[in-house]
Structure 1
Amino acid sequence: MDTSQQQESSGAEDENGSDGEEDLSPEEKRVLERKMKKILKKEEKKKLKEEGKSIKKDKVQSNLAEKKALEYLTCWSERREEWKFHKSRQIWLLQHMYDTTKVTDDHFKGLLTYLEGLRGASRGITLQKAEAIVRWEGQREEEDTADAEKKKQRAKQVVQLL
């Protein structure tokens, strides 16, 4: 689908029936094309998901994200001069730090050291989540109590640290 068809399908026509592309600056055209590309990609992904074809791709991407985040943490702890901050890696680590299958005990020890330097909103949000886990995990019954206990123990360590 070319951009004029995309604009028509998205309702971008004005009252005169023209697609209004002549009135747009090059920057506005570029932004519009990016938006349309994103919409089409989302629709394609939805179709693939309905057909069950995207599951394998998602697993590969999640394994890649896990690998990159753990390499990032290792680089931070062992080769600080080579280390460079990556927000996406930090977010992955903060979201998965209680999962013992994704973040091993050895990596978690390094992560605790990393968390000492955590600043700003990330520090506050991480502390809130850890406190919530400590409060709520003990009140509900979970099927795998060993994992729940480990998660609660890690959360307590994070609360004490922050």
Structure 2
Amino acid sequence: MGGNKNKSKNQNENENAEYVKVKEQNIDSLEDGLHQNNEIFKSEAAKRPHTDDDSNSDSEKPKKAKKKKKRQLAPVEETSNKKGIKSIRQMKKEKHLQRQIDAQASAKDQLKSQCLNYLSQWKHDKQNWKFMKAKQVWLYKNKFSAQLVPNEVWPVFLEYFESAQGNIKKMLLDDAHKIINQMDQWTETQKEDKSGDNHEGNIEDETSEVNKPDEIIYNRARSLIQCLQE
């Protein structure tokens, strides 16, 4: 009986020793496998070292592009707003200028009406008429304008200045003689053109400088001389 117990103990010890050896072998094989796997992983990682950088760069590119687009859109909107402000200012300036032009035209029309009424009152209502130098000067300056001094007023104009005092008559006659002389010069150049003396082209240069006076201006100059010539 004692011998059997010793045999069983020896067998158990041998079995435990073999189990430990097998376990140690399995652990060594696992460690070898892990070591090999680590080496394989390192070698594969070494083959593609820039994959992470590329992914990061690709992810950053769209963000940069979006920022560029926003920077480009901002100045376009600002310029469009500036253009809008300029156009509004320009419209305001044009309206202001138009108001000034209208005001000046209205003032000119009012002055014309006052001066013509001044002349008419001298003719038809001398008791209430008063001499006004500013209105007489206006009539003198606009004597040759049929628009400002109409033809129907012209006979009264002649009567008024025929009775005028001072140096105004001489000034009217000097202006009238200038118109007559201008007409005479133009007539002479026309005669020379017809005679054929301008074959070298010299007369053509002279005639281009002499303009024919307007017919209304010329007739008014003649009537002034006839009326005021002493």
User: Scaled by the length of structure 2, what TM-score is found?
Assistant: 0.44
Structural mapping, 1:6-155, within 5 Å = 52-53=97-98, 54-137=100-183, 139=186, 140-141=210-211, 148-155=214-221
Pick the structure with greater CA Rg.
Answer: 2
Q: What is the CA–CA distance in structure 2 between the aligned matches of 1:137 and 1:82, rounded to whole Å?
A: 41
Cα displacement (A) at 1:105 = 1.5
- 2:26 corresponds in structure 1 to none
* 2:162 and 2:169 in contact (8 A); partners too: no
* Number of residue pairs matched by the alignment: 110
Q: What is the CA–CA distance in structure 1 between the aligned matches of 2:182 and 2:144, rounded to whole Å?
A: 14
Cα distance per residue 1:47-80 (max 9 Å; x no partner): x9xx734222211111111000000000000111
Cα distance per residue 1:22-48 (max 9 Å; x no partner): xxxxxxxxxxxxxxxxxxxxxxxxxx9
Q: Do the aligned partners of residues 59 and 137 (structure 1) sit closer, same or farther apart at CA in structure 2, a change above 3 Å counting? A: farther
Q: Which moved more, 1:120-129 or 1:76-85?
A: 120-129
- 2:3 corresponds in structure 1 to none
Identity fraction in percent: 23
Unaligned 5+ residue runs, structure 1? 1-47
* 2:115 and 2:138 in contact (8 A); partners too: yes
User: Scaled by the length of structure 1, what TM-score is found?
Assistant: 0.61
Q: Do the aligned partners of residues 137 and 60 (structure 1) sit closer, same or farther apart at CA in structure 2, a change above 3 Å counting? A: farther
1:160 paired with 2:226, answer yes
Q: What is the CA–CA distance in structure 2 between the aligned matches of 1:152 and 1:76, rounded to whole Å?
A: 26
Cα displacement (A) at 1:82 = 0.9
In terms of fraction of residues, the more helix-rich structure is 2
* 2:142 and 2:149 in contact (8 A); partners too: yes
Amino acid in the other structure paired with 1:152: Y
Unaligned 5+ residue runs, structure 2? 1-92, 187-209
Cα distance per residue 1:57-112 (max 9 Å; x no partner): 21111111100000000000011111100111111111112111111112001001
Q: 4+ residue runs of structure 1 moved beyond 6 angstroms? A: none
